[in-house]
Copies of this chain bind each other. A is one copy, B any other.
Amino acid sequence: MVKYIDIADDIRKKIETSVYEHGQKLPYEYVLCANYRCNKTTMKKALEILVKEGLIVRRRGAGTFVKDADTLTKLQGEQPFHGLTQTYPKSKVSSRVIEFEVISADETLAHHLHVEQGSFVYHIIRHRFIDDKSYGLEYIFMPISIIPDLKIEHLQTSIYSYIEDDLGLTIHGIHKIIHTVPSGSLDHELLGIPENVPAIEIEQVGYLSNGVVFEYSLSHFHYENFRQTLVTLL
């Protein structure tokens, strides 16, 4: 639909299939423009995408180069993710819903979700499994006004798909704080964390593209299962 994305996709494919070899120089901007029948600005925008993805490097006065294979594989495949379902597309991600109710927000929660105190919000607890192995425990809070008609089916599959695909909302970003907290009874029971051993907690706030907070959640993990990968591109 959009030209510069099409071009980026095409060049990405050519890099992946080694039409453009790793470590090799790409044709000059000028030539690429001619090939794709587009303007310099459009081509620049296309290549910018690939630069951000870490596939190519551009050096003023030198040229555009495909990064070599080893470097590539390391930066690849760790895209900014959504929920667990999207993070582990190749694994079976399942959930046991432990709690699904609507509560009215107390002061703290109202503050986190940026809604008025007393507003109705979903309160969800899910025990999550990856390939049938216990993975973590989630406490999720979402304003009912922003995410209407949430059903238990959505909790059993992917809440994020419901938000993006069914409600047509755009998730702009996620803010996380990873730290540790004293473990509680559910952590002991379901995650098997021993008494007096802290749980690793991810405190998460999700924002829609209009800046509205749609989610506040706490996820608990046993330290043995905990693994979080992140890529920071500057």
A interface list, Cβ under 8 A from B: 41, 54, 57, 59, 65, 67-68, 70-72, 74-75, 78, 80-82, 114, 171-180, 197-198, 200, 205, 207, 209-213, 223-224, 226-234
A177 vs B78: C-alpha distance in the bound complex, in angstroms? Answer: 11
Of all chain B residues, the one with the shortest Cβ separation from A111 is B70
A70 vs B113: C-alpha distance in the bound complex, in angstroms? Answer: 10
| This chain: copies in complex | 2
Verify B198–A54 contact, CB threshold 8 A. no
Q: A173-B54, A234-B171, A234-B173 are in contact. Are A228 and B178 (CB under 8 A)?
A: yes
- Can you report 19 residue pairs joining A to B where beta carbons are below 8 Å apart? A57-B210, A59-B210, A65-B210, A68-B114, A68-B211, A70-B114, A71-B114, A74-B175, A82-B234, A172-B233, A172-B234, A175-B229, A175-B230, A177-B227, A177-B229, A178-B226, A179-B226, A180-B223, A198-B223
User: Could you tell me the distance in whole angstroms from the C-beta of A53 to the nearest C-beta in chain B?
Assistant: 10
Verify B175–A75 contact, CB threshold 8 A. yes
Q: A177-B227, A178-B226 are in contact. Are A205 and B74 (CB under 8 A)?
A: yes
A200 vs B224: C-alpha distance in the bound complex, in angstroms? Answer: 11
State which of B172, B180, B213, B233 has its C-beta within 8 Å of the C-beta of A54.
B172
Question: B residues within 8 A CB of A207?
Answer: 54, 71, 74-75
Q: A54-B173, A173-B54 are in contact. Are A80 and B211 (CB under 8 A)?
A: no
